[in-house]
């Protein structure tokens, strides 16, 4: 299992590099909904899923495309810990 | 709360008020008539009729602008709409401009990045999975159909999706370019045709169908546009045609590409959202569960946030580098 701190750093860096509202990583709590907070939109979800699949060499199925897996920094990290 | 009742118009009065307001708006802009694009759909047919009433048929020019992926019936329906309301019309085939700008080539190259065997004779469209009944995150998918074969769905990567949309948006921008060309020639204003759902939810191309001098039905829910269509004598073939984007080579409903539900349902939900009504008030008239209405509410809110950029006027900077909107 990958280290949680490393995974969170990678996810936050991806958000900061690609989405203006993700730049202020300190303002984004681990539990904030990325969609509700306006950090990412539907295209952003596409980018996020593409990043996770490419960066970690994983495949995310349609059944896994759920808010409880992908809608906050914490859920993404937990999802990755289960997948990796 | 009887929302369907609240969405009912007095169509005669609305037609009179909007056509008078349209005339005043065009005169206020110092223009002597109006140009609009006529797609063969309900919205532009209604706006054409309102223009005919408000400005006079001789002061309105409708452009019918087919391209390679347009349904052949769209041209016929556009012509029928123009003739029904007695306005001038002409056909501008935009396919040569689109070919020269690389619209089809750029789009096909992006599609081949996802489906390498895609080629001549294949058809394609972009769709979103259904919203109702699930909280699943919805990712854009490409549907391709080989000649004589069955359609296949493939999840899109962000870069491919954006390439396809950017290429396809050349269609709406080319149409607007021609509308302004004729508006310049005639001293007319460009009349836009978005209804409230499209305008509010950002279902338009910036610098394309989003650009216009007057948008006379942007305050009307789609079901109200249909009510007005009957009053204005819009041909029945247009009034009974399902809303389509008429943009991709495979038939594409507006509710599979952009809107999450059919227009009747979205009208009810958007009305409720605009008036602070709870999901429970909409569930019964919409025939949805409360959970599904809440999903539509969330989708409405997210689209408003995601498309704010499309509505934003240019940002001007002053000498200190501070921003202010035009």
Q: Report the b/e string of A6-40 with b at 16+ CB within 10 A.
A: ebbebbbebbeebbebbeeeeebeeeeebbebbbb
Greater model confidence, B184 or A28: B184
Partner-chain residue, chosen from B135, B136, B158, that has the shortest CB–CB distance to A43: B158
Contact B161 A65 (CB under 8 A): no
Tell which residue, A46, A24, A53, has the closest CA to residue A32: A24
DSSP B253: B
* Domain range list for chain A: 4-83
- Residues of chain B predicted below pLDDT 50: none
Contact A46 B158 (CB under 8 A): yes
Q: Which residues pair with B244 in a beta bridge?
A: B253
Tell which residue, B120, B67, B90, has the closest CA to residue B245: B67
Put simply, whether A34 touches B (Cβ < 8 Å) is: no
Partner-chain residue, chosen from A38, A47, A70, that has the shortest CB–CB distance to B137: A70
pLDDT at A25: 62
Q: Which residues pair with B155 in a beta bridge?
A: B141
User: Which residues, in sequence order, are CB contacts of B151 under 8 Å at separation 6+?
Assistant: B143, B144, B145, B250
* Phi and psi, residue A9, nearest 5°: -60, -45
Q: Which two tokens stand for residue B201?
A: 């939810």
The residues on B that touch A, with CB distances below 8 Å, are 128-129, 135-140, 155-159, 161-162, 302, 305-306
Contacts of residue B159 in chain A, CB cutoff 8 Å?
A: 50
CB pairs under 8 A between A and B: 47
Gyration radius of chain A's alpha carbons: 12
Contacts of residue A42 in chain B, CB cutoff 8 Å?
A: 128, 138-140, 302, 306
Q: For the purposes of burial, counting CB atoms within 10 Å of the CB of B204, is it exposed (0-12), middle (13-18) or buried (19 or more)?
A: buried
pLDDT at B259: 82
Contacts of residue A66 in chain B, CB cutoff 8 Å?
A: 135-137
Contacts 24+ apart (CB under 8 A), B283-292: B285/B2, B285/B3, B285/B4, B288/B132, B292/B131, B292/B132, B292/B133
Q: For the purposes of burial, counting CB atoms within 10 Å of the CB of B132, is it exposed (0-12), middle (13-18) or buried (19 or more)?
A: middle
Q: What is the rounded CA–CA span in Å between residue B51 and residue B175? A: 19
Contacts of residue B302 in chain A, CB cutoff 8 Å?
A: 35, 41-42
Contacts of residue A43 in chain B, CB cutoff 8 Å?
A: 140, 158, 161-162, 306
- Chain A residue with CA closest to B141: the answer is A46
pLDDT at B5: 84
- Chain A residue with CA closest to B308: the answer is A38
pLDDT at A2: 74
**Parallel/antiparallel/unpaired status of strands B88-91 and B123-127:** unpaired
CB B72 within 8 A of CB B39: no
pTM, two decimals, is 0.93
Contacts of residue B304 in chain A, CB cutoff 8 Å?
A: none
pLDDT at B1: 64
What tens digit of pLDDT does each residue of A33-76 get?
998 888 898 899 999 999 999 999 999 999 999 999 999 999 99
Q: Report the b/e string of B27-44 with b at 16+ CB within 10 A.
A: eeeebebbbbbbbbbbbb
Contact B302 A41 (CB under 8 A): yes
Put simply, whether A45 touches B (Cβ < 8 Å) is: yes
Q: Which H or E run includes B201? A: helix B196-201
In CATH, the architecture of B3-99+163-243 is 3-Layer(aba) Sandwich (3.40)
* Phi and psi, residue B63, nearest 5°: -105, 130
Q: Which two tokens stand for residue B233?
A: 């004598």
Q: Which two tokens stand for residue B56?
A: 């006079």
pLDDT at B6: 86
Q: How far is B318 from chain A (nearest CA, A)?
A: 23
- Chain A residue with CA closest to B128: the answer is A42
pLDDT at B325: 60
* Domain range list for chain B: 3-99+163-243, 101-162
Partner-chain residue, chosen from A35, A45, A66, that has the shortest CB–CB distance to B139: A45
Q: How far is A42 from chain B (nearest CA, A)?
A: 7
Contacts of residue B157 in chain A, CB cutoff 8 Å?
A: 46, 50
Beta strands in chain B (DSSP E): 34-37, 60-64, 88-91, 123-127, 141-145, 152-155, 189-190, 315-317, 323-325
Kindly report the CA angle at A39 between A1 and A61, in degrees rounded to 5? 45
Contacts of residue A49 in chain B, CB cutoff 8 Å?
A: 137, 139
Return the CATH fold of A4-83.
Answer: 1.10.1200
Q: How far is B10 from chain A (nearest CA, A)?
A: 38
């Amino acid at each position: 299992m990958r280290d949680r701190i490393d995974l969170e750093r990678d996810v936050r860096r991806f958000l900061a590099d690609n989405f203006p509202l993700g730049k202020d990583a300190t303002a984004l709590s681990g539990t904030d909904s990325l969609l509700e907070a306006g950090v990412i939109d539907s295209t952003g979800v596409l980018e996020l899923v593409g990043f996770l699949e490419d960066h970690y060499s994983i495949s995310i199925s349609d059944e896994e495309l759920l808010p409880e897996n992908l809608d906050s920094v914490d859920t993404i990290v937990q999802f990755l810990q289960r997948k990796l | 709360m009887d929302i369907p009742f609240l969405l009912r118009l007095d169509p005669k009065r609305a037609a009179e008020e909007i056509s008078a307001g349209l005339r005043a708006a065009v005169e206020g802009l110092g223009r002597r008539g109006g140009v609009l694009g006529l797609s063969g759909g309900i919205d532009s047919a209604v706006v054409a009729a309102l223009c005919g009433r408000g400005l006079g048929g001789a002061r309105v020019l409708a452009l019918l602008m087919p391209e390679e992926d347009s349904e052949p019936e769209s041209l016929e329906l556009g012509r029928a709409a123009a003739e029904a309301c007695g306005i001038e019309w002409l056909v501008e085939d935009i396919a040569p401009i689109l070919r020269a700008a690389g619209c089809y080539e750029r789009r096909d190259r992006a599609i081949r990045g996802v489906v390498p065997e895609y080629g001549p004779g294949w058809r394609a469209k972009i769709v979103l999975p259904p919203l109702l009944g699930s909280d699943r995150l919805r990712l854009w998918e490409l549907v391709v159909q080989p000649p004589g074969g069955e359609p296949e769905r493939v999840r899109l990567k962000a870069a491919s999706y954006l390439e396809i949309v950017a290429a396809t948006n050349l269609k709406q921008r080319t149409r607007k370019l021609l509308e302004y060309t004729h508006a310049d020639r005639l001293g007319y204003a460009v009349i836009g045709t978005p209804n409230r759902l499209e305008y509010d939810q950002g279902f338009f191309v910036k610098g394309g169908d989003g650009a216009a001098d007057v948008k006379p039905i942007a305050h009307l829910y789609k079901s109200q546009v249909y009510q007005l269509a009957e009053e204005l004598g819009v041909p029945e073939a247009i009034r009974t045609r399902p809303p389509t984007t008429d943009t991709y080579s495979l038939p594409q409903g507006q509710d599979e590409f952009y809107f999450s539900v059919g227009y009747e349902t979205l009208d009810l939900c958007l009305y409720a959202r605009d008036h602070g009504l709870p999901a429970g008030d909409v569930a019964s008239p919409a025939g949805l569960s409360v959970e599904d209405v809440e999903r539509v509410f969330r989708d409405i809110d997210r689209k408003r946030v995601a498309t704010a950029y499309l509505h934003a006027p240019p940002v001007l900077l002053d000498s200190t580098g501070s921003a202010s909107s035009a």
